[in-house]
Amino acid sequence: MTTVFEALESNVRGYCRYWPTVFTTARGAWLRDEAGRDYLDFFAGAGALNYGHNNPVLKAALLHYLAEDGVTHALDMSTTAKRDLLETLRDVVLVPRGLDYKVQFPGPTGTNAVEAALKLARKVTGRIPIVHFTNAFHGMTLGALAVTGNAAKRAGAGVPLPHGYPLPYDGCLGGVDDLLWLERAVDDVSSGLDRPAAVIVETVQGEGGVNLARPSWLRRLAEICRARGILLIVDDVQMGCGRTGPFFSFESAGITPDIVTLSKSIGGYGLPMALVLMRPDLDQWAPGEHNGTFRGNNAAFVTARVALRRYWSDDGLATATAAKGERVRRALTELAERFDGLSTRGRGLVHGLVFDDASRAGKVSRAAFEAGLLVETSGARDEVVKLLPPLTVGEDELDHGLGLLAGAVEVVCAG
């Protein structure tokens, strides 16, 4: 029988095809479907649910706010919810890290934050090119697509995507000093590269296949940019909010980007919200120059604030993430040792199981679903099974999920 999803929902739908069931409720690291079957969720809303589904602390704050008729929609009007969030962001996140940023609320998606960051970089520098990296993913709107690697996604634009300048991401050329060209090209007036406004980079490429940039590579990139007046944008939409351990994914590299984009888990509850953080002197926007009806998702401001207070007032979550990540790394390394054509890489609680035979990753993801585990694939050829459990996942749940994954790998690779 044809479902209403098949009959009515556009062909563009994606995840419902990979996970062909109808979900009803969710709690913590678990999703339940309408047949009453439970699935362990190692996808976590593609990184939007770092604190789990319906996190009880955030839910209580949200329900209270709604019960009191708190403002839910306010564009960028001032509200108590926004004031409380800004103060919390300053006191819990920025000041303790010695970070001096102004805060912009763009429309509530990652791609909107990226658009704002690119626009601002071009406005401030008066330059046009943006350097980006192979396998990068920055979003689906035209500016963000122009700095995204994936050919199929780029083709979807239907118009030329100019003014991006792609360079190899760390490790892409297998040990070659891949930043040398950036350095040379910017300094050489005859290189053909007009001086870029900015470089945009993910410290770990989530959609691109869990590719990790080394801290030393990031530091060198930051130094090249700094010395030449090129702005460094770190897109922390997926890897921020503790995914790699620390709140910002760039902290461990010891770099301070000029602009940072955040979305996904910053709202805390899976509620849409995005932020652009910028060096104060870069805040050269005219009022309303970049706007959007849903800049003021105040319900998300409430859950964002409570999440920051609850999880980032000390280093408990970051420490736990490192320990859980180590558990994942050990389990995946064991798997990679057992089966040919399999390797693993990751940081914090983002890990990839990389298959030489790309088709196996999709098969493993499907077998995992059959066994009750949600894991998606990523990478240029969808060759990587990407693990993104909620950071709040219990150790037992983690072990259970890793066991289900091992079973799925066995089914696919031992057969």
Q: Which residues bind ligand PMP (CB under 6 A)?
A: 46, 109-111, 114, 137-139, 202, 206-207, 235, 237-238, 263
> At its nearest, how many Å lie between ligand PMP and the CB of residue 411?
28
CB 121 within 8 A of CB 301: no
Q: What share of the chain is helix, strand, coil (3-state, %, to 5)?
A: 40, 15, 40
Whose tokens are 């090129």? That residue is: 230
* CA triple 114-249-276, angle to 5 deg: 30
Closer residue to ligand PMP, CB minimum distance, 49 or 342? 49
Q: How far apart are CA 141 and CA 117, in angstroms?
A: 13
Closest to ligand PMP by CB, 263 vs 365, is 263
Residue nearest to ligand PMP (CB): 110
For the bound state, the minimum distance from the C-beta of residue 27 to ligand PMP, rounded and expressed in Å, comes to 23
Min CB(137)–ligand PMP separation in Å: 5
Enumerate the H helices of 109-266 as residue ranges: 110-125, 142-145, 151-155, 180-187, 215-228
- The DSSP annotation for 362-379 comes to HHHHHHHHHHTEE-EEES
Q: How far is the CB of 103 from ligand PMP (least distance, A)?
A: 18
| Tokens 């979900």, residue located | 23
Query: Which residue from 27, 22, 52 is spatially nearest to 37, judged by alpha carbons?
Result: 22
Of the two residues 193 and 237, which places its CB atom closer to ligand PMP in the complex? 237
**CA–CA separation, 242 and 321 (whole Å):** 8
Closest CB to ligand PMP among 274 and 409? 274
- Residue (62 or 237) nearer to ligand PMP, CB: 237
CB of 138 to ligand PMP, least distance (A): 5
CB 187 → ligand PMP: shortest distance, Å?
29
Considering the complex, state which of residue 110 and residue 209 has its C-beta at the smaller distance from ligand PMP. 110
